Amino acid sequence: LAKTTQPISMDSYEGQEVNITCSHNNIATNDYITWYQQFPSQGPRFIIQGYKTKVTNEVASLFIPADRKSSTLSLPRVSLSDTAVYYCLVGDGDTDKLIFGTGTRLQVFP
Amino acid sequence: GAVVSQHPSRVICKSGTSVKIECRSLDFQATTMFWYRQFPKKSLMLMATSNEGSKATYEQGVEKDKFLINHASLTLSTLTVTSAHPEDSSFYICSATESVKAYEQYFGPGTRLTVT
C-alpha cells in the first residue's frame, strides 16, 4: 500500500498564505483528491475536493499537477482559527481504497 | 450540508466490558458507512466499511469478532467493542456517504473511548 505523505508540521503567521502539499505517487486513476481539516477531539471537516488542475472555493484552493502524483492545499490568508491538522484523502491505485495522508499540523501565530 | 452524529462522544469503561458506539446520518440516507480509529497525533486508520443490510468489510489486522459492526438501516451503524482492553482506548470516528463515490464522506464528531 503506497503511503500518502505530508509534512509533519508547518508554522505560519496570521494573514500569510499557507501551502500544504500531499504526495500520492500511486493515486487511483479515477478518484478525486479531498482535503480535510481536523481540530482536536473532533471529526474531520471537508475543505475542498478536486480531480485535476485547480479548484477554488470560499476558503481554499487546491492545485493538482497533470500527473496527479501530488496536490497542494492553499489557504490564502490564515488566521489563528486555522490552527489545526490538515489531511489529504486519496484512492490507492493498487487497492482502490481511500487512504488518509499522514497529516500536517499547522500552527498559526499572531 | 449533510450531518453525521455519534453517540456517545466520550465513554469510559472497565476492562472486559463491551461498549457500543452509534453513528447516525441525520439528514440523508447513507448507503455506506465507514469506521475509523485514530491514535493521538496519528492519522485516521480505516477499520471497516459497512453497507446497509450486509456484513461489514474489515481491513487487514482488524478483528471482526472484537469490533462488531451492524448497519441496520440507511441512517444507523453501530460499532461494538467487545471485551475491551486498555489498548482499545482510542478515538473512533465514523463517516457516511450517500453516493457511490466513497470520497464524498461526511464525518461524525468522533467518540473517545477510554478503557481502564
User: Per-residue pLDDT tens for A38-95?
Assistant: 999 999 999 999 999 999 999 999 999 999 999 999 999 999 999 999 999 998 888 8
By DSSP bridging, strand A104-109 and strand A9-13 are parallel
| Mean pLDDT in residue range B15-26 | 96
Indicate yes or no: CB of B110 within 8 angstroms of CB of A41. Answer: yes
Cα distance between residue A20 and residue A31, in whole Å:
20
Three-state SS for A81?
A: helix
| CA dihedral (A7, B114, A99, A73) positive or negative | negative
Q: How confident is the model at residue B100 (pLDDT cuts 50, 70, 90)?
A: low
CA-to-CA separations, A97 to B36, B45, B97, B103, in angstroms, rounded: 13, 11, 15, 10
Q: If DSSP codes are grouped into helix, strand and coil, which group holds residue B73?
A: strand
Query: Among candidates B42, B105, B46, which has minimal Cα distance to A103?
Result: B42
The partner residues of B5 in beta bridges, in order of sequence, read: B24
Would you state the cell numbers that stand for residue A89, as one nine-digit string? 484523502
B57-61, Cβ contacts within 8 angstroms, sequence gap of 24 or more: none
Are B106 and A46 within 8 A, CB to CB?
yes
CA atoms of A10 and A15, how far apart (whole Å):
15
For A34, the closest chain B residue by CA position comes to B103
Residue type, B30: A
pLDDT-derived band of residue B104, with 50, 70 and 90 as boundaries?
A: confident
Q: Say which of A41, A87, A98 has its CB closest to residue B102.
A: A98
Place of cell 473511548: B113
The chain A residue lying nearest B113, using CA atoms, is A41
